Amino acid sequence: MFNFSNVLADATSDVNFYSEKANEGSSFMPFIGFMLFFAALILLIIGITNIVDSKKQFNLFYDQRDAKDFTDEKYVKERKRGIVFIVIAIVLLIASLIILPLF
C-alpha cells in the first residue's frame, strides 16, 4: 500500500533547509531580473495610456469647443511614442525572463 507520509519524509530528509551557504543571497541577478520586469510593466502601462489618450478624448463635459483634432501632429507623435514604449517594455520583459533562470 502506498503511504504518502513515508514519501514525504524521504523527500524532505534529503533537503538541507538550514544551508546558509546556498541561501546567502550573494547574487544580485534575480533582483536585476525583477527590476527589469517591473520597469517593463510600468512602460507598458505608460505606452497603453499614451495610445488610448491619443485616440479618444476623455473630458468631463463633451463640448464641441473642446473637441480635439486627432489627425494633428501632436497626437500622431503621442501615438508613436506609445508604440515605442510598448516595444521597449516587451524587450525588457523578454530580457527579464531570460535573466531570471540563468542565475
Cell of 80: 508613436
For the stretch 83-99, pLDDT in tens is 999 999 999 999 888 88
pLDDT, one tens digit for every residue, the chain (103 residues):
556 666 666 666 666 656 656 556 666 777 888 889 999 999 999 999 999 888 877 766 666 676 777 778 888 888 899 999 999 999 999 988 888 776 6
Whether 22 contacts 78, CB under 8 Å: no
Indicate whether this model's pTM tops 0.85: no
Among candidate residues 101, 98, 94, 99, the one with its CA nearest the CA of residue 44:
94
